[in-house]
Amino acid sequence: MKVTIKATNLNLTPAIKKAIEEKITTLDKFIPHIDTSVEAFVEVALETRHHKKGNIYYTEANIKVPGRVLRSEAREENIYKAINTVKDELQLLLKKYKKRQIAKREKAT
């Protein structure tokens, strides 16, 4: 899986980049049935407008799979927690996508 990372209002440190790549690339095991290459676009940001005190981190990820774009976003007080939340949600979406694709194949035969 190819992962593209964008940082907004945030210094993209090697530790944050490594965490994103590790979490997102683990999702590969949920898409072995896809023959084409899959791309993931991840944006991490430090939000400047919010009602809470302190830093609020925003993470958004889009994964392009054949016929769909799976999207997840999270806002947390910890950047790593936001990354984990996005990964967990994408994992559920990929499982649902896989079930639909299998059902489609079975229905076609």
Distance CA 14, CA 99 (A): 35
Place of tokens 């979490």: 23
Distance CA 41, CA 28 (A): 14
Q: What is the pLDDT of residue 52?
A: 62
Structural domain boundaries of the chain? 2-108
Would you tell me the crossing angle of helices 14-25 and 79-108 to the nearest 10 degrees? 20
- Reading the chain (109 residues) residue by residue, the pLDDT tens digits are 889 999 998 999 999 999 999 999 898 888 766 667 788 999 999 987 656 677 889 999 999 888 889 999 999 999 999 999 999 999 999 999 888 888 887 887 7
User: What's the one-letter identity of residue 29?
Assistant: K
Q: CA nearest 44: which of 69, 24, 65, 16?
A: 16
Q: What is the pLDDT of residue 107?
A: 83
Sign of CA dihedral 97, 33, 85, 60: negative
* CATH classification number, 2-108, choose in 3.30.160.100, 2.30.140.10, 1.10.150.530, 3.30.1370.160: 3.30.160.100
Q: What is the pLDDT of residue 91?
A: 94
Q: What is the pTM of this model?
A: 0.87
